[in-house]
């Protein structure tokens, strides 16, 4: 998880989140917003990119209100702000407004270092969000996720999870959450293996990818391999749900660069590109049909039906058909 300094009050006038790990940056923002809304449920949150924060905009956002409302102003990629806007931010740092929390997200590199130094000089609360490039860092992250959820996992289980999932922190966090939701007691290597090992091309995510691409035969083949190699049915329904929801989210989002959409939708940029390719045959009605099929399959594999394998096969077929709804 993001490491904090001794200034541990999320409602400090200024929070500086430094680094390039998107999940940790998002969590730093979420922590501040949650604390603000716990203090005032009507807190106004403004989440801005550099192109949205023009000279004078910050002054408008932080000017006194007749209603003295609490406000959180989030500035993403602060290192990319224009020179004039950086002057505005530096001036604000010297005299922050009451009832307003400014959150600056900064990559931490040389670009925009003057703003970084200015925020530190005035004693901004700082949250470190470094990119986790080393396996040891990702292993420590997984252990921390289990601890944060109040669960115990063996060292071998944590290592197996990192080996199986890879370097994407969002997917690692999602896997930890899924395991703690589904499994009671200590999570060991055998449990992780049951959920995440098997032929790589027959993983639960491959089943979902082939289904949302409308490739029913390949999806069914991958499904059968997954089940035969011990992948838990609940992991397959989870992957199907993620795949269909990603189609729905992206199809309803406004256009933009993958990086911008990734922040808006909570997906890594590479996934935006993949989903764009997968969504070509989908319609809104198709998404609705597919989500119902996933819900029925989920109920079937969690005890609501007599044959979990049939429930999954039925869902895969329905999703693959829905993926071709625009084509006729």
Mean pLDDT of 44-60: 91
Mean pLDDT of 240-264: 77
Task: Taking the CA atoms of 84, 86, 92 and 94 in sequence, report the sign of the dihedral they define.
Answer: negative
Length of the chain: 328
Task: Taking the CA atoms of 77, 81, 85 and 89 in sequence, report the sign of the dihedral they define.
Answer: positive
Task: Round to the nearest angstrom and report the end-to-end CA distance of the chain.
Answer: 47
> Tell me, what's the pLDDT at 134?
83
Q: Where are the beta strands (DSSP E) in the chain?
A: 3-4, 14-19, 44-48, 71-75, 100-106, 125-129
Q: Report how far apart, in Å, the C-alpha atoms of 124 and of each of 9, 12, 218, 260 are.
A: 10, 8, 53, 26
> Tell me, what's the pLDDT at 192?
86
Q: What is the DSSP letter of 181?
A: H
> Tell me, what's the pLDDT at 1?
39
DSSP letters, 131-178, are: ---SHHHHHHHHHHHHHHTT--B-HHHHHHHHHHH-S-HHHHHHHHHH
The model's pTM: 0.59
In the chain, % of residues over pLDDT 70:
88
Mean pLDDT of 312-319: 96
> What's the pLDDT tens digit per position in 123-168?
999 999 998 888 889 899 999 999 999 999 999 889 888 877 777 8
């Amino acid at each position: 998880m993001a490491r904090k300094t001794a200034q541990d009050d999320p409602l400090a006038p200024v929070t500086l989140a430094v680094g390039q790990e998107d999940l940790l940056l998002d969590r730093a923002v979420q922590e501040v917003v949650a604390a603000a809304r716990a203090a005032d449920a009507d807190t106004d949150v403004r989440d801005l990119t550099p192109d949205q924060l023009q000279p004078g905009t910050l002054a408008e956002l932080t000017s006194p209100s007749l209603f003295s409302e609490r406000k959180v102003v989030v500035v993403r990629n602060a290192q990319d702000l224009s020179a004039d806007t950086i002057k505005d931010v530096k001036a604000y740092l010297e005299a922050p407004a009451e009832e307003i929390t400014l959150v600056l997200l900064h990559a931490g590199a040389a670009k925009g270092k003057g703003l970084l130094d200015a925020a530190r000089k005035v004693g901004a609360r700082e949250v470190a969000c470094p990119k986790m490039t080393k396996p040891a860092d990702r292993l420590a992250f997984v252990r921390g996720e289990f601890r944060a959820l109040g669960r115990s996992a063996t060292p071998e289980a944590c290592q197996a999870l990192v080996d199986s999932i890879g370097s994407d922190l969002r997917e690692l966090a999602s896997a930890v959450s899924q395991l703690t939701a589904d499994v009671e007691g200590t999570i060991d290597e055998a449990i992780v293996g049951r959920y995440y090992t098997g032929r790589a091309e027959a993983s639960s995510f491959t089943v979902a990818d082939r289904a949302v691409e409308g490739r029913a035969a390949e999806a069914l083949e991958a499904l059968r391999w997954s089940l035969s190699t011990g992948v838990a049915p609940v992991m397959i329904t989870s992957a199907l749900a993620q795949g269909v929801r990603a189609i729905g989210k992206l199809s309803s989002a406004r256009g933009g660069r993958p990086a911008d959409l990734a922040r808006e939708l909570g997906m890594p940029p590479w996934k935006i590109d993949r989903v764009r390719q997968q969504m070509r045959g989908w319609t809104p009605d198709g998404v609705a049909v597919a989500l119902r099929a996933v819900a029925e399959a989920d109920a079937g594999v969690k005890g609501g039906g007599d044959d979990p394998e049939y429930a999954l096969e039925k869902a895969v077929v329905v999703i693959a058909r829905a993926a071709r709804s625009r084509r006729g």
